[in-house]
């Protein structure tokens, strides 16, 4: 069966958990490093031993507020923690501390460009803080299945972003997540990576006949670990629900799991909704206007504004400006390099074409390398001055990632200087032409492709250092005069 | 070890310092207050075998002040009521001078009253709850039993005050308790809510009136000015307390699954059955019915819980208004026919503690004065209750009365 999904409009909302990169857990001083050896980062509070009392971390509140501001939310004057009651081995105290009745922030939004190229503002209902639960590890001991509990993650600080049901397509959901991720990363409050589990998105999806207004029963889909999976899972779920409706089967409220291998969703359980009772031990958070203003001052220029400014100030094309503003460290690197007299367009091209791919291949971020904007700008100047050619510059750039030496020094030491000297280039060209009389004849018979072949050979003979412009001039002159 | 009285008794009394305000004072605790490495089972099989991994703030501060910890005495399961408590008996047998008893319904005051001791529940937030294996976090705090208010004040002074491990305490340091004066000039107005009379038989009313009458007379130093006050809806304190306390207890007990400590059921096909079986074996009937009640409000009737919270705020503000006119309230500790030490059910327990639990609901300091209001053979106990954080005034007034009674005895 292949239902006509155009008959229906999809209503999509997201619930996104983001792990804050605060130094400690939310209610104790244990390091917030869930990846350490199991149960290393624990204490009576996060193990919830009798007699322990939670102590709210000021740093976590600060980072959470930064995240809320980046999502354009209004910070509540008073927010408070509730006990979300449920029993499961990953939560041995029987409730999770979460802000249910009085969330930290409300009424935010994220702007995206929709599929038709028009701007769309997607609403955020609220953002609340909560503690993460322990991690269950399922293994076997001989033939007996066993489950182990790792408390390193128990009590890790999270924010949960709950959107309005404003999205209408998998594309919009994906764009929302990309923009949210970029903005949150900009504030420095989170690494925000779905692949690494520091960002987890659940989707709520319902369908209604196109043109109607009612909100129908929704289905929750979990277990997507990349933004693409979110899009795929929503697309699948829209199709599945459309089939249900076509068969006149009722859609029931429940939770489904996305299976990334089979690319389908399967039912998991009824959607959970336990009680939430105010916690008597964690005092309410009362927002001090002066403190809040201080946090607001820490908020950096956001990527969309930055892209606009890069177009206006540096004459970047829209796609270049977008690429240069996606990650805060790269945007600041770009701008610093440009201030060192690098040509904006050239800097952007080299960052997109060479710096970013090199970092990706090495699994590093800029701060992991020795590359500075000053050295990067100096390298681009060497290219402009024809003291090094593009191919050699790529080699030099790779070395600059690991060396604090200025590019001039790397060029000199490695002998990467461009050969522009006519005598040396002519000698190389003459040697090659003498070795390949047949190809010279082919050129003279009108096969102009041979020019590229000779360029390659000559460049190789110069160990990649020949000034390509001069080389081509000499080669053409020699061939034409032969 | 005298196992009739003690849950845990160290081989030799625990004393960290010989100097300080409590130097040499022997202190008894209950096994719901953490003393590092002591069995801390809070009187429940749910914590069977659990040894505290740290000192409670009160314990650490008492040790620093030179106190000597002599043991922990039996307590009612998780501190709800005093059925099975041996604190008063251990104090009377000379094992300690001051007892620390968690007070969530009036346990410290009631235990004291039954044994003829002074019992005190401090203002909520004055004493850290860190290390207290609690049941009802918003109502309970460490209470004190001692031979007189001055010794209570000394112990309170040593352990009270802000604690970086308990953020629920007020950030601003409350006024120091200070030494309690034996005699202080200036008449204090004491109000007695007339609604209390509805709860008491004629003989008990007579006893209370007689006690207050004597306090009004000049023989009590400058005398107290006794007035009747109005506290309508007195029975609502008990209703609001029960709804809120049962909900908080249900959450507090969520962690008792028998996995890492406590009683663990051997049968059960999966973890869920193991939890259920462990919990059904671990808890006694009274706690079980309390937890059922709390779970009912959590899962089935959240609105009633919210209403109880609204009611609590109203009752607190009604008391605040009352304190504007009379800085102290007086009422008996116990009803003449209730038997708190034998209360089995939740209903019996709440009935027995009906006169003490308002101070818990409202977080107020309350002192039990023994031997001033006797109804026949029964010591009804007289409570003095003051506004939040007026602990020093309450204890000072109590000490004036104590001094006068001692004077009478010497005549």
Taking CB atoms and an 8 Å limit, are A277 and B299 in contact across chains?
Answer: no
pLDDT of B189: 86
Closest by alpha carbon to A20, among A30, A29, A39, A33?
Answer: A33
Q: How far is B271 from chain A (nearest CA, A)?
A: 8
Residue A143 DSSP class: T
How many percent of chain B have pLDDT more than 70? 93
Q: How far apart are CA B102 and CA B104, in angstroms?
A: 6
Tell me the helices (H) and strands (E) count for chain B, helix number first.
12, 14
Q: How far is B78 from chain A (nearest CA, A)?
A: 11
Residues of B whose CB is below 8 A from A87: 254, 257, 272, 275
- At B20 the three-state DSSP class reads coil
Burial of A352 (0-12, 13-18, 19+ CB in 10 A): middle
**Quick check: A80 and A282 in contact, CB under 8 A?**
yes
pLDDT of B175: 56
Over residues B66-78, the pLDDT tens digits come to 999 999 999 999 9
Q: Which helix (H) or strand (E) holds B332?
A: strand B328-332
Taking CB atoms and an 8 Å limit, are A280 and B50 in contact across chains?
Answer: no
Q: Which residue on chain A is closest to B136 by alpha carbon?
A: A280
Residues of A whose CB is below 8 A from B132: 51
Residue A58 sits at the chain B interface (C-beta within 8 Å): no
Closest by alpha carbon to B132, among A155, A30, A49?
Answer: A49
Q: What is the mean pLDDT of chain B?
A: 91
Over residues B121-179, the pLDDT tens digits come to 999 999 999 999 999 999 999 999 999 999 999 999 999 999 999 988 876 555 555 55
Q: Lowest-pLDDT range, A1-10, A129-138, B230-239? A: A1-10
- Residue B395: CB atoms within 10 A of its CB come to 31
Is pLDDT above 70 for A315?
A: yes
Taking CB atoms and an 8 Å limit, are A282 and B167 in contact across chains?
Answer: yes
Over residues A270-286, the pLDDT tens digits come to 666 678 899 999 999 99
Give Cα B323 distance to the centre of its chain.
21
The residue whose two tokens read 């929709």 is A114
Q: How far apart are CA B152 and CA B112, in angstroms?
A: 12
Is pLDDT above 70 for A1?
A: no
pLDDT of B203: 93
Q: How far apart are CA B226 and CA B188, in angstroms?
A: 8
Q: How far is B32 from chain A (nearest CA, A)?
A: 8
Query: In degrees, to the nearest 5, what angle opens at C-alpha A245 toward C-alphas A239 and A248?
Result: 145
Taking CB atoms and an 8 Å limit, are B40 and A93 in contact across chains?
Answer: no
Any idea where the domains of chain A sit in the sequence?
5-286, 301-414, 422-481
How many percent of chain A have pLDDT more than 70? 98
Closest by alpha carbon to A303, among A324, A334, A333?
Answer: A324
pLDDT of A475: 87
- Residue B145: CB atoms within 10 A of its CB come to 30
Residue A44 sits at the chain B interface (C-beta within 8 Å): yes
Q: How far apart are CA B36 and CA B131, in angstroms?
A: 10
Closest by alpha carbon to B329, among B184, B198, B228?
Answer: B228
Q: Which residue on chain A is closest to B274 by alpha carbon?
A: A89
Q: How far apart are CA A280 and CA B265, in angstroms?
A: 31
pLDDT of B411: 37
Phi, psi at B227, each rounded to 5°: -130, 150
Distant-in-sequence, close-in-space partners of B14: CB < 8 Å, separation ≥ 6: B35, B63, B68, B69, B70
Q: Per-residue pLDDT averaged across A165-185, rounded?
A: 96
Closest by alpha carbon to B63, among B91, B33, B35?
Answer: B35
Q: Lowest-pLDDT range, A253-257, A314-318, B126-130, B222-226? A: B222-226
**Chain B residues near any Cβ of chain A (below 8 Å):** 34, 40, 42, 47, 50, 52-54, 56, 129-134, 137-138, 164-168, 247-248, 250-251, 253-255, 257, 259-260, 271-272, 275, 298-299, 302, 305, 309
Phi, psi at B179, each rounded to 5°: -70, 140
Q: Of residues B403 and A306, which shows the higher confidence score?
A: A306
Over residues A43-72, the pLDDT tens digits come to 999 999 999 999 999 999 999 999 999 999
Q: How far apart are CA B314 and CA B317, in angstroms?
A: 5
pLDDT of A466: 85
How many percent of chain A have pLDDT more than 90? 70
Over residues B384-396, the pLDDT tens digits come to 999 999 999 999 9
Mean pLDDT comparison of A8-22, A83-97, A243-257, highest-scoring range: A8-22
**Quick check: A182 and A326 in contact, CB under 8 A?**
yes
Is pLDDT above 60 for A354?
A: yes
Residue A274 sits at the chain B interface (C-beta within 8 Å): yes
Residue A51 sits at the chain B interface (C-beta within 8 Å): yes
Q: Two tokens at A69?
A: 């501001």
Region class of B192: left (phi > 0), else alpha (psi between -120 and 50), else beta: beta
Identify the CATH assignment for A422-481 out of 1.10.1040.10, 3.40.718.10, 1.10.10.410, 1.10.3720.10: 1.10.10.410
Distant-in-sequence, close-in-space partners of A358: CB < 8 Å, separation ≥ 6: A397, A398, A401
pLDDT of B363: 96
Max Cα-Cα span within chain B: 73
From the list A51, A55, A92, the residue facing B259 with the nearest CB is A92
Over residues A363-412, the pLDDT tens digits come to 998 989 999 999 999 999 999 988 888 888 999 999 999 999 999 999 98
For every residue of B132-191, DSSP letters joined together read B--S-TTT-EEEEEESSHHHHHHHHHHH-S--TT-TTS-SSPPPP--PPPSS--S-EEEE
- Residue A196: CB atoms within 10 A of its CB come to 11
Q: How far is B22 from chain A (nearest CA, A)?
A: 24
CATH class of domain segment(s) B6-230+329-341+364-410: alpha beta
Length of chain B: 411
Taking CB atoms and an 8 Å limit, are A92 and B40 in contact across chains?
Answer: no
- Residue B322: CB atoms within 10 A of its CB come to 18
pLDDT of A2: 65
Taking CB atoms and an 8 Å limit, are B298 and A275 in contact across chains?
Answer: yes
pLDDT of B347: 96
Residue A272 DSSP class: P
Q: Per-residue pLDDT averaged across B215-235, rounded?
A: 79
pLDDT of B186: 44
Q: What is the mean pLDDT of chain A?
A: 92
pLDDT of B172: 58
Q: Distance of CA A415 to CAs A92, A355, A383, A393, A457, Å?
A: 64, 22, 15, 12, 19
Q: Per-residue pLDDT averaged across A461-475, rounded?
A: 85
Distant-in-sequence, close-in-space partners of A266: CB < 8 Å, separation ≥ 6: A256, A257, A259
Interchain CB contacts (distance < 8 Å): A and B: 84
pLDDT of A183: 96
Per-residue b or e along B271-284, where b marks 16 or more CB atoms closer than 10 Å to that residue's CB? eeebbebbbebbbb
- At A257 the three-state DSSP class reads strand
Q: Per-residue pLDDT averaged across B40-60, rounded?
A: 97
Is pLDDT above 80 for A115?
A: yes
From the list B42, B251, B275, the residue facing A85 with the nearest CB is B251
């Amino acid at each position: 069966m292949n239902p006509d999904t155009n008959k229906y409009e999809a209503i999509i909302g997201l619930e996104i958990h983001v792990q804050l990169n605060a130094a400690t857990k939310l209610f104790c001083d244990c390091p917030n490093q869930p990846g350490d050896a199991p149960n290393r980062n624990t204490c009576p509070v996060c193990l919830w031993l009798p007699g322990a009392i939670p102590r709210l971390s000021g740093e976590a509140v600060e980072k959470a507020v930064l995240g809320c501001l980046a999502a354009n939310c209004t910070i509540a004057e008073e927010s408070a923690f509730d006990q979300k009651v449920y029993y499961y081995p990953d939560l041995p105290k029987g409730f999770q501390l979460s802000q249910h009745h009085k969330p930290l922030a409300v009424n935010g939004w994220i702007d995206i460009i929709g599929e038709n190229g028009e701007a769309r503002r997607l609403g955020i209902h609220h953002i609340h803080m909560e503690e993460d639960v322990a991690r269950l590890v399922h293994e076997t001991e001989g033939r007996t299945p066993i489950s182990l509990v790792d408390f390193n993650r128990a009590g890790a600080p999270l924010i949960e972003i709950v959107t309005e049901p404003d999205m209408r397509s998998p594309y919009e959901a994906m764009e929302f997540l990309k923009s949210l991720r970029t903005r949150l990363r900009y504030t420095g409050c989170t690494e925000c990576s779905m692949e690494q589990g520091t960002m987890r998105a659940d989707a709520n999806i319902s369908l209604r006949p196109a043109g109607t207004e009612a909100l129908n029963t929704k289905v929750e889909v979990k277990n997507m670990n990349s933004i693409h999976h979110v899009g795929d899972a929503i697309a699948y779920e829209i199709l599945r629900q459309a089939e249900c409706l076509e068969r006149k089967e009722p859609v029931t409220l429940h939770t489904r799991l996305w299976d990334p291998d089979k690319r389908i969703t399967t039912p998991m359980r009824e959607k959970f909704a336990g009680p939430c009772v105010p916690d008597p031990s964690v005092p309410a958070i009362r927002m001090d206007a002066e403190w809040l203003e201080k946090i607001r001052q820490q908020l950096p220029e956001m990527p969309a504004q930055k892209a606009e400014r890069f177009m206006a100030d540096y004459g970047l094309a829209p796609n270049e400006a977008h690429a240069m503003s996606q990650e805060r460290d790269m945007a600041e690197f770009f701008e610093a390099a440009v201030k060192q007299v690098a040509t904006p367009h050239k800097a952007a091209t080299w960052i997109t074409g060479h710096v970013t791919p090199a970092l990706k291949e090495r699994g590093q971020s800029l701060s992991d390398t020795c590359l500075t904007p000053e050295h990067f700008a100096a390298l681009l100047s060497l290219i402009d001055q024809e003291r090094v050619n593009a191919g050699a510059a790529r080699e030099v750039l790779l070395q600059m990632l690991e060396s604090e030496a200025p590019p001039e020094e790397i060029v000199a030491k490695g002998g990467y200087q461009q050969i522009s000297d006519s005598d040396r280039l002519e000698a190389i060209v003459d040697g090659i032409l003498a070795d390949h009389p047949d190809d010279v004849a082919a050129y003279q018979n009108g096969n102009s492709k041979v020019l590229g072949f000779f360029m390659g050979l000559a460049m190789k003979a110069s160990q990649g250092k020949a000034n390509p412009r001069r080389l081509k001039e000499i080669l053409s002159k020699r061939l034409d005069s032969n | 070890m005298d196992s009739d009285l003690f849950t845990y008794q160290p081989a030799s009394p625990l004393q960290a310092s010989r100097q300080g305000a409590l130097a040499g004072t022997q202190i008894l605790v209950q096994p719901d207050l953490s003393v590092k490495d002591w069995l801390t089972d809070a009187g429940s099989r749910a914590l069977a075998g659990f040894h505290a991994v740290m000192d409670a703030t009160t314990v650490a501060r008492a040790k620093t002040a030179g106190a000597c910890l002599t043991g922990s005495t039996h307590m009612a399961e998780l501190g709800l009521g005093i059925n099975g408590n041996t604190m008063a008996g251990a104090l009377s047998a000379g094992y300690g001078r001051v007892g620390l008893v968690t007070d969530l319904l009036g346990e410290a005051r009631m235990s004291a009253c039954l044994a003829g001791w002074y019992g005190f529940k401090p203002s909520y937030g004055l004493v850290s709850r860190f290390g207290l294996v609690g049941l009802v976090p918003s109502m309970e705090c460490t209470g004190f039993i001692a031979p007189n208010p001055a010794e209570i004040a000394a112990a309170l002074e040593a352990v009270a005050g802000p604690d970086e491990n308990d953020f629920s305490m007020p950030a601003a340091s409350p006024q120091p308790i200070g030494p309690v004066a034996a005699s202080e000039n200036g008449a204090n107005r004491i109000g007695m809510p007339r609604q209390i009379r509805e709860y008491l038989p004629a003989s008990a009313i007579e006893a209370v009136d007689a006690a207050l009458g004597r306090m009004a007379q000049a023989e009590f130093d400058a005398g107290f000015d006794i007035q009747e006050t109005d506290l309508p809806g007195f029975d609502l304190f008990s209703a609001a307390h029960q709804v809120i306390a049962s909900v908080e207890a249900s959450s507090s007990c969520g962690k008792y699954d028998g996995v890492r400590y406590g009683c663990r059921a051997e049968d059960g096909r999966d973890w869920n059955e193991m939890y259920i079986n462990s919990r059904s074996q671990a808890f006694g009937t009274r706690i079980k019915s309390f937890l059922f009640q709390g779970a009912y409000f959590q899962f089935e009737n959240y609105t009633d819980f919210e209403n109880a919270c609204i009611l609590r705020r109203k009752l607190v503000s009604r008391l605040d208004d009352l304190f504007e006119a009379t800085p102290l309230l007086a009422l008996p500790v116990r009803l003449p026919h209730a038997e708190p030490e034998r209360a089995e059910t939740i209903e019996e327990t709440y009935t027995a503690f009906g006169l003490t639990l308002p101070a818990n609901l409202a977080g107020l300091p309350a002192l039990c004065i023994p031997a001033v209001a006797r109804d026949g053979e029964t010591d009804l106990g007289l409570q003095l209750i003051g506004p939040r954080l007026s602990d020093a005034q309450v204890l000072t007034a109590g000490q004036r009365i104590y001094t006068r009674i001692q004077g009478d005895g010497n005549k």
